[in-house]
Amino acid sequence: MLNKVVDTMIIEANLGRLYALWLREFKVFLRERSRLIASTFTPVLWLFVIGSGFGSTHPSTGVDYQKFIFPGIVSMSVIFSSVFFGSYIIWDRKFDFLKSVMVAPVSRDTVFIGKTLGGMTTSLVQAAILLAIGMAIGINLNVLSLIQTIAVVLLLSFALTSVGLAIGSYIESLEGFQLIISFVVFPLFFLSAALFPLKNLPGWLFFLTAIDPATYAVDALRNAIIGTSIHSFALDVGVLAAFTIAFAIFGSYSFRRMKAV
């Protein structure tokens, strides 16, 4: 009986901590307007410049190219915001904020999950802005496709925030940031087939797209938003979920072994 009471108290306390950590991330996100504007602006630029630049109807898909890359652009925004969000842990560490959290009786896993929740929220807000723009250029969404989109965005964001956190926990200096952009963010994006269809690819490229978790998110989003895809929605989400679990385990492991000072 007493054990039960204590257990519920511990759970409550941990939920409170999670909430507090999440709230901090969310508030900072809302206050750092420049970050929000910049990270929304880039995908929009891609959508309109690349999307209209190639203009014509794409031969292999039969859909307007701008509409065709729209799901890819949504995943692009998730890829960028999630990985960046995770690796922002470098800043938290640099400015000792993380130290003040770690000296509190909070487990590393709680801090880790709080961060990923923050990353997921950020990605969701940005995806929502893009979806609103998408509606304006003629993308039709029903309730089911909206729910599917949200689910995929959350999964991908969870996976990639974990990746960002893992990398951030190994890197000490802010210069490492540039490496993350070149070697993680861009490959994840370009190899995800966000800008081209998955059909008729050369073997090596097909292989690389197959091991990029974002590929499955792009495919699932195409399925949900414009109704064309290579795999079934269930398969895409299944593979994505497997990646997510693996990355979350890797991320929380890295986070646990990170030095506090």
Partner 1 sequence: MSNGYFVGWRTFQIDYFYFFKISRHNTLIYISIDCLIAIRDLVKRYDNLTAVDRLNLDIHENEVFGLLGSNGAGKTTTIHMLATLLKPTSGTATVNGFDIVTQSAKVRGSVGIVFQAPSSDDMLTGYENLKLHSWLYSVPRQVREKRIAEVLDLVGLTERKSDQVKKYSGGMRRRLEIARGLIHKPKVIFLDEPTLGLDPSSRESMWKYIERLVKEEKITIILTTHYMEEADMLCDRIGIIDRGKIIALDTPSKLKGMMGGDIVKLKLVEKKRPNTDMLKNFSFVHKIENISDDGLLVLSVDNASRNLPIILKYIDAESVEYTIPTLNDVFLRSTGRNIKEEAEGGFMEKYARYEQK
The footprint of partner 1 (CB under 8 A) covers 13, 16-17, 19-21, 23-24, 27-28, 31-32, 95-97, 99-107, 260-261
**Smallest distance, Å, CB 37 to partner 1?**
16
Based on CB atoms, which residue is closest to partner 1, 13 or 147? 13
How far is 199 from 76, CA to CA, in rounded Å? Answer: 20
How far is 257 from 184, CA to CA, in rounded Å? Answer: 22
Phi, psi of 39 (to 5 degrees): -80, -15
**Smallest distance, Å, CB 207 to partner 1?**
43
Based on CB atoms, which residue is closest to partner 1, 20 or 230? 20
How far is 86 from 165, CA to CA, in rounded Å? Answer: 4
**Smallest distance, Å, CB 21 to partner 1?**
8
Of 36, 42, 69, 44, the C-alpha closest to 181 is 42
**Smallest distance, Å, CB 105 to partner 1?**
4
Based on CB atoms, which residue is closest to partner 1, 13 or 205? 13
Residue 39 CB-half CA count within 13 A: 26
**Smallest distance, Å, CB 162 to partner 1?**
22
Q: Which residue has the tokens 């994505």?
A: 240
Based on CB atoms, which residue is closest to partner 1, 13 or 179? 13
Amino acid at site 22: W
Based on CB atoms, which residue is closest to partner 1, 96 or 132? 96
**Smallest distance, Å, CB 257 to partner 1?**
12
Based on CB atoms, which residue is closest to partner 1, 94 or 199? 94
Taken in order 130, 132, 134, 136, the sign of the CA dihedral is negative
Amino acid at site 202: P
Calculated CA dihedral for residues 88, 93, 98, 100, nearest 10 degrees: -150
